[in-house]
Amino acid sequence: MSAEQEALRLDETDPQPSLREEFLIPPAPGGTYSEAAYFAGNSLGLQPKAVAGRLREELDDWARLAVEGHTQARRPWVDYHELLREPAARLVGALPHEVVAMNSLTVNLHLMMASFYRPSGDRTRIVIEDSAFPSDSYAVASQAVHHGLDPADAVVRLTPRPGEDTLRTEDVLAFLEREGGTVALLMLGGVNYLTGQLMDMAAITKAGRAAGAVVGWDLAHAAGNVPLRLHDWDVDFAAWCTYKYLNSGPGAVAGCFVHERHVADPSVPKLSGWWGTEPSVRFRMDPDIAPPASADAWQLSNPPILALAPVLASLEIFDRVGMDALRARSERLTGYLAARLAPLPGVQVITPDDPAARGSQLSLRVADAGGLVRRLAETHGVVADAREPDVVRFAPVPLYCTFHDCHRAAEALDDLT
């Protein structure tokens, strides 16, 4: 049996078949296949076919009802975001009143830090990983400046050991035991955007809170990628985008989690807006806010319905399949691709070998990453992305990627490296 035949056999017999037929697969930029082998879902997920119909329904209700759509649309706009609450909670392992769909990821991180980053005395530092996504670096530095602190002193960037590419959990825990008394906020990425490393969120959260720090997580590359248990892990807050693994469209409305111990605590400061007041009194237009005992208290403005509709359509897919089944398929796909890449010369995988320590991503260190990504697309129809100067990222997203896609990627890399 050829390698291609084996990949096709795996696709036919996998216990959780691909839902590829429910997504719009872009045409291959080049090569002999009509459809792309798409591995850039960790940057922008593919469009579910159901999204166009959902958007048309909202546009039709707007055309038919105008302002009355707030209460009379088939999904009334005034409380539309409530439709996302329970599926979002199931996705991230939260109680329904702990989650809300709002804003964008970095806006939500700023709102969370406005509430939970409270430097005082010796406890002033914010801890992130050195390879954090740049937006997180900019956000925490600006928060330090906002509090009159020098980011060079206030922001700690955890680095891997010399010669290694990823953080060791024991090193993070040792840092917290050693220096936790100076840490006001620990805010790491649940899955690192560059390396694909899945952090041990449960252990790190426990250690951070034991050290007296607030623990928040950037789940941009974790939500919809790996199972999460935010409530049980006792996470203080978390935020995530929905346009990567959640396939909700470019710049889609993000999500936010606040643990229930905080949502009803009146001592927690918030930056407020009118949608953060109790719905039963919202339209009395009172000058004083009456925040609900839920994550909704962090809302600022009425939600954009046309932007929420794709998120709702996507969450329904995740609810139907379940994160445990998707995670199991992800491990099979990523493991298959890793095995196919292992013998290739000139390719160094920097993502952890342990399936439990990575998400649906393999990051490769190669020469001329940008040029390789262009050649993969132009000559083989394989779409990945580059992080200059020397990292190419492949995301075998379990909802729509197949073993045959992984076969194509391995064959293309063998041909081009």
Residues contributing to the annotated binding site for pyridoxal 5'-phosphate: 105-106, 133-136, 218, 221, 243, 274, 302
Domain membership flag for residue 50: no
Whether 315 and 329 share a structural domain: no
Q: Is 361 left (phi over 0), alpha (psi -120 to 50) or beta?
A: beta
pLDDT single digits (tens) 333-350: 999 999 999 999 888 999
Domain-ending residue, one of 277, 298, 319: 319
**Domains: count for the chain:** 2
- In tens, the pLDDT along 377-389 reads 999 999 999 998 9
Amino acid at 241: C
Note whether residue 116 is domain-resident. Answer: yes
Q: Please report, rounded to a whole number, the percentage of residues in the chain having pLDDT higher than 70.
A: 100
21 Cβ neighbours under 8 A, 6+ residues apart: none
Give the model's pLDDT for residue 367: 87
pLDDT for residue 360: 98
pTM over 0.85: yes
- pLDDT tens readout for residues 52-89: 999 999 999 999 999 999 999 999 999 999 999 999 99
User: Residue 216: which of 276, 146, 298 has the closest Cα?
Assistant: 298
Choose among 230, 127, 144, 216: nearest CA to 180.
127
Indicate the DSSP class of residue 166: S
My answer on whether 186 and 292 are in the same domain is yes
What are the binding residues?
A: 105-106, 133-136, 218, 221, 243, 274, 302
What DSSP state is assigned to residue 181?
A: G
Q: Are 42 and 387 in contact (CB under 8 A)?
A: no
Same-domain status, 155 and 189: yes
393 Cβ contact partners less than 8 Å away, ≥ 6 residues apart: 39, 40, 42, 43, 194, 196, 361, 362, 363, 364, 384, 385, 386, 387
Rounded distance between C-alpha atoms, residue 190 and residue 69, angstroms: 38
Domain match, 107 and 142 both: yes
Let me know if residue 47 belongs to a domain: no
Nearest 10 degrees: CA dihedral of 59, 61, 65, 69?
A: -100
Domain of 215? 57-319
CATH of the domain at 392: 3.90.1150.10
Is residue 49 domain-resident?
no
Domain holding 183: CATH number? 3.40.640.10
The verdict on 82 and 191 lying in the same domain is yes
381 and 345 in one domain? yes
Section 251-277 average pLDDT: 95
Residues 221 and 77 in one domain: yes
Same domain, yes or no: 90 and 204: yes
Q: Both 333 and 286 in a single domain?
A: no
Do both 314 and 271 map to the same domain? yes
What distances in angstroms separate CA 139 from CA 66, 105, 146, 150, 187, one per listed residue?
38, 11, 10, 13, 11
Residue 348 falls within a domain, yes or no?
yes
Shared domain check, 288 and 210: yes
DSSP state of 99: E
Which pLDDT band, with edges at 50, 70 and 90, does 264 fall under? confident
Whether 95 and 241 share a structural domain: yes
